Chain A
Amino acid sequence: MALTEPTVEEIVHHAATAPKGRSLWSDARRRFLRNKAASLSLVALVLIALFAFGGGFVAQYERGYVDFTLIGINSTQGVPSFATGHFFGTDQEGRDLFARTVQGTRLSLLIGVVGSLVAVVVGTLYGAIAGYFGGRLDSAMMRIVDILLSIPFMFVLILLLVMFGRSLLMLFIGIGLISWLSMARIVRGQTLSIKNKEFVEAAIATGVRPLTIILRHIVPNLLGVVVVYATLLIPEMIIYESFISFLGLGVQEPNTSLGALISRGASQIGNGVPWQLAFPLFFFVVMLFAFYFVGDGLRDALDPKDR
């Protein structure tokens, strides 16, 4: 059978009419968008982010502004209303709850995203290095993770906050210290199966340096798992921070977070000011639900097992 070389015109024509290739990620995006709960949650998250970062322009009061005339008569005068400009009512000190909820939501979101980012960077590198090199280095590195995981970290985090003062920085450091551990474990497991694939073998054979192999060939193939797990980690971090702030050990006044607001609202439930609990709680629960469904949707979209 005689094969003729295709002409340039033929090649161009072919390229123009050929069906567009579907990448893993575009496939995943289609699957994700078909999942109603996940897409809806993504919309909810965008709205919450808009609220957290743009709500300050809508607020009628500075979040630190104390309306002394309202103190003590909060349950009748501090009711949420558009007329007074206190959309979410006021808190016990006569401060605008809308402005405070905006700032609290922003802080909770930031904590979640930062904790998750630390997990992605540190955990991925740590796990990939341990898994790729294997042997004694692997068992030593994983033993360290095992030991750290078996320590009740919430208590150590509180210890840290008490010893070094309750600052936002310390909170970020503490949360960053915890978050990467299980990520490292998951990534290591994935790396173990990827490193025996042919393309890694080919890279080794052509003399690519180990670190380049990890960054160029292994990490990109881990991204699916990492993205899914990072999304599921965000609500976990938010819960951690809220827990600490609920105890009064986290964010300090005049700053606040959803956990601190819920704690203050919960302590006032007997005083006829239900909005002080309701609004922060609403944003907290919706945010966690949304992250949960988005993470779940991403897992369904990216996990090749369940197709």
Chain B
Amino acid sequence: MLAFILRRLLVAIPTILILIVISFILMFAAPGGPFNTEKPLPAAILANIEARYGLDRPYLVQIGSYIWNIVVHFDFGPSFKYRDQTVSGLIAQGFPVTLTYGSLAFLVAVVLGVALGIAAAIRHNTWLDYIATGTAIGASVLPNFVLAPLLVIVFTLWLGWFDAGGWSGKGWDAAVLPVIALSTSYLAAIARITRSSMLEVLNSGFIRTARAKGLPMGRIILRHALKPTLLPVLSYLGPAFVAMITGSVVIDVFFSTGGIGQYFVNAALNRDYSVIMGVTILVGVLTILFNLLVDILYAWIDPKIRL
């Protein structure tokens, strides 16, 4: 097990480095620097600014010190656009918010999705199954940037139950619409995967044996069918995690929750390279670590996986 984890870590680290180097190369290759303005700056001033941000050093030194600062000090450097802010400061401000509603949405998607999928599989070809699969298909063609405005129309404009946005200084109800908007399509996907996986498991030999010896259905589901059912769901969690982080960008923009996505979009619109790179790298590292975690869990649950 330990060797397996170590081997996966050995793959994860170069992946992270590749990500950093790719984003750096993109920055160097980009036409026009971050300080190109409509009125060209005098050469002396430009040189001063570049020296201030260390952009006058050789590329290799820049990459080296960039990586060194991230690893040792968790320092992604200063923002190129806002003189008084660092990338790490922006991340420290926005990330807790993203993490809060993100993990809530993740929990909702997994728990409700699995429950719905199992219910649909047990009541295969009944109205419950049809409703569950119908909703799942519907939700999968409603990406969060479509769902979010619809939710606001229904719950804010028509029913007036929730505010249209905002986060800090608000109670739990500020999280309701963002969590629904973020989790629905992954809830649907997880429900679909669980349903088809459960149906397959329920048709297999060992379940027939369990039923033949007279076990009650609830016991069969919980003790025998649940674990093999969850394996494909587990392997979907990695992609779902990535998608949720990506989706949080929309949530932040739409509901003004002030999460990390808001800074990312603003930075993207302002060509604030250091913020974009910082967030991209952070998200990349999180993704890779999460995938590693899922892989380890998978190997732990399924003994057939070779370590």
Contact = CB atoms under 8 A, between A and B. Distances in A.
Contacts, number: 109
Contact of B141 (A159, A243, A246, A288): A288
B189 interface: no
A62 B75 CA distance: 51
A211 interface: no
B143 A242 contact: yes
B15 interface: yes
B149 A162 contact: no
A150 B23 CA distance: 15
Contacts of A249: 265, 268-269
B196 to A, nearest CB: 11
Interface string A218-258: 00000000000000000100010011001111000000000
Nearest to A161: B268
A289 interface: yes
Interface string B50-90: 00000000000000000000000000000000000000000
Interface string B9-36: 0010011001100110011011100000
Contact of A284 (B146, B148, B268, B273): B146
A88 interface: no
B92 to A, nearest CB: 19
A158 interface: yes
B146 A248 contact: no
A263 B269 contact: no
B97 interface: no
A262 B249 CA distance: 16
Contacts of A143: 11
A147 B283 CA distance: 15
A266 B273 CA distance: 28
A243 B276 contact: no
B198 interface: no
**Which of A152, A249, A284 counts the most B-chain CB atoms under 10 A from its CB?**
A152
B55 to A, nearest CB: 15
Given A156-B22, A156-B23, A158-B268, A243 B280 contact: no
A163 B146 contact: no
25 contacts: A147-B11, A147-B14, A147-B18, A151-B19, A155-B284, A156-B22, A158-B268, A159-B276, A160-B26, A162-B273, A163-B26, A164-B26, A164-B30, A164-B31, A165-B31, A235-B141, A239-B143, A243-B145, A246-B250, A249-B269, A266-B152, A269-B153, A270-B157, A289-B137, A289-B141
